[in-house]
Amino acid sequence: MREIAHFIVGGAAEAARYGDVYDPNTGAKQARVALGGKADLDRAVAIAKAAQPAWAAVNPQRRARVMFAFKALIEANMDALAHLLSSEHGKVIADSKGDIQRGLEVIEFCCGLPHLLKGEFTIGAGPGIDVWSMRQPIGIGAGITPFNFPGMIPMWMFGPAIATGNAFILKPSERDPSVPVRLAELMLEAGLPEGILQVVHGDKEMVDAILDHPDIGGISFVGSSDIAHYVYSRGTAAGKRVQAMGGAKNHGIVMPDADLDQVVSDLAGAAFGSAGERCMALPVVVPVGEDTADRLRAKLIPAIEALRVGISTDPQAHYGPVVTPQHKAKIENYIQMGVDEGAELVVDGRGFTLQGYEDGFFVGPTLFDHVTTDMRTYREEIFGPVLQMVRAKDFEEAVALPSQHQYGNGVAIFTRNGHAAREFAQRVNVGMVGVNVPIPVPVAYHTFGGWKRSGFGDHNQHGMDGIRFWTRTKTVTGRWPDGAGDGSSAFVIPTMS
């Protein structure tokens, strides 16, 4: 059986523990991944600490050239990376390419590093005094990434961190770890010095070692909200800067004037794409008014029933299996919970099997109607191909539903009314808003981040927030006396008067 080792300079020691990596399409175990701990991390950090000062001293345009070379290598290896990603995650090949491409867009942003790192300068801030600022790397950063985007999210993290002069330790999900290792290999091929990007595998033992390590200055995390809160609390208590992105329960508001055919098309992709395993999926649809709800439901049912669930390499499949047997069981338990809570199960995706792949981790598309806000299935993140309909009587209730939910990652409104869209975008208590855009993930030069229990910390992912998070600002106030001073001392705080 294939073994996936840590990517540490000089090779990795044999692991005492291993985790299983499945092929979600067949249900078979295809590899085992090393599960490391403090000793493995200590070794990686020591190597990073020795390598980082020289990398930070490399001028910005030369660091940017490594990013350019890495971009070219990703593009040249796109097909192989997508197939590797799909083989461990289960998403269809086209979706895997999208996963990698969205990460690559952040790398493209990092290619502009010389401009992004420019500081500020004020000449003559006082008599003969100039003031200027500079951005300097924090030293060693770490990223803890989830299973659902094993290409994109690692690049979101290590791209800005490395471009700004830091060394980086990546701890990817142990469920699909091969693509992150391959990305590190390609960074070396692109010209990155050894020790600047290393990959360690593990579970909670490794996560805690990262949170507690005194030489790691910043941590970026994406995962469930409970773990995000834990990472943020323990990391900041250890004196680190932490950005921790949590879960989501994104709502799609459908106004009476919306183009329902377009809404149904958008919902099919946003709710069921990648088997719903996206923090920016759209698992809750909120039609405004009973007539809107009834018309939408009538169009949704045949569209959902027409969705094709298939293996990752099926070019006709809309989505593939979920990542592990445990996750499949969790999703199906939530479906039963929704039935027990009194929601109307309109389309039931449980028990779905695919001929020839009966042991694969497949869940069919599921639709609930008449879901209410007191139901646990509404309050919690299911993270599967399950769409819930919550009927709102008017616009005010439609604004209140996502605003009052514990999660505040993304939300969308579907309407032809510009005033309603503008009002909604301004008032809704959610971090990212789509107007007739079902999955409002910002482009790489803006920032990604949710509110409430969807995000902990003061900085978002990528964009200028990514540059700010992985650097510290140093401000210098200087003067060059001409030798004609009177030699007197000042005992009060200096002012520019």
- DSSP at 202: -
- DSSP at 274: G
Sign of CA dihedral 281, 283, 289, 295: positive
Sites in the chain below the pLDDT cut of 50: none
The two three-digit tokens of residue 183, written as one number: 């990305």
pLDDT of residue 14: 84
Residue 434: helix, strand or coil by DSSP?
strand
The CA dihedral of 141, 145, 150, 155, to the nearest 10 degrees, is -30
pLDDT of residue 496: 64
pLDDT of residue 12: 74
pLDDT of residue 481: 85
279: annotated active-site residue: yes
pLDDT of residue 464: 94
Q: Catalogue all structural domains in the chain, each as residue range(s) with its CATH number.
A: 2-246+454-476 (3.40.605.10), 251-435 (3.40.309.10)
pLDDT of residue 482: 79
pLDDT of residue 484: 62
Query: Which of these, 17, 71, 48, lies nearest to 215 by C-alpha position?
Result: 48
Q: How far apart are CA 332 and CA 347, in angstroms?
A: 13
Q: Spot the catalytic one: 21, 93, 163, 279.
A: 279
Q: How far apart are CA 311 and CA 360, in angstroms?
A: 9
Q: How far apart are CA 312 and CA 97, in angstroms?
A: 12
pLDDT of residue 486: 63
Phi, psi (degrees; rounded to nearest 5) at 411:
-155, 155
With beta carbons less than 8 A apart as the criterion, state whether 432 and 408 touch: no
User: Tens digit of pLDDT for each residue in 233-242?
Assistant: 999 999 999 9
Sign of CA dihedral 256, 260, 264, 269: negative
